[in-house]
Amino acid sequence: MNNHLDFKNLQYEESFILDMLSHYVELSSVTVEPRSKEAGLYERAVRAYREGLSEESLTLFAKLILMEPLSSDYWMGMASSLHLSENPIKALSCYAIVALLDAEDPSPHFYAAQIFLKQRNEIEFTKAIELSYARATLNAEYTPWLEKTMDLKELFYRKERGVYAG
């Protein structure tokens, strides 16, 4: 069972999240689709992301977030699309939203650690990778993240010692 954020004042929180969303895409250019189209939009957004079409995936994930502002999956899609489009600061803030919406999921911390690895930011990398590891140990569902986390940690320290060739 996931520990999802329980908002007491949903209207305020949705307003906050929509304000956050406006920092990533121009909301006036995003049309809201009927709820019945949500599954199809998600499939299109994921396909656009996998094909490297970050602008299209950003727009589609924005539509989905407007439909369901508290969906960690949609925010993860937005974060991943921003990460793909080489916008690390915005990606990090979306990963933070995912971490708030799903307190057990190690993936937002793992992907944040990837960004900090690229930036060679040891302090923030260490925080993110340790959070990823801690969350991966909470639930057997997240066991595969343990190996990924340890591999990324080793990569960071090899890179810091000048052994990394990438």
Tell me how far apart the alpha carbons of residues 43 and 92 are, in angstroms, rounded to a whole number. Answer: 23
157 in the same domain as 116: yes
Tell me how far apart the alpha carbons of residues 81 and 75 are, in angstroms, rounded to a whole number. Answer: 10
Residue of 17 and 31 predicted with greater confidence: 17
Poorest-confidence range of 1-10, 40-49, 87-96, 136-145? Answer: 1-10
Query: Quick one: pLDDT band at residue 37, thresholds 50, 70, 90?
Result: confident
78 in the same domain as 6: yes
On whether the CB atoms of residues 54 and 24 are closer than 8 A, the answer is no
68 in the same domain as 18: yes
Percent with pLDDT over 90 in the chain: 49
Structure tokens at 111: 């992907």
Domain end position, chosen among 90, 120, 149: 90
pTM attached to this predicted model: 0.76
Query: Quick one: pLDDT band at residue 120, thresholds 50, 70, 90?
Result: confident
Tell me how far apart the alpha carbons of residues 112 and 103 are, in angstroms, rounded to a whole number. Answer: 15
Tell me how far apart the alpha carbons of residues 8 and 11 are, in angstroms, rounded to a whole number. Answer: 9
What angle is formed at CA 101 by the lines to CA 150 and CA 106, rounded to 5 degrees? 5
Tell me how far apart the alpha carbons of residues 134 and 148 are, in angstroms, rounded to a whole number. Answer: 13
Residue numbers of the domain that contains 34: 1-90
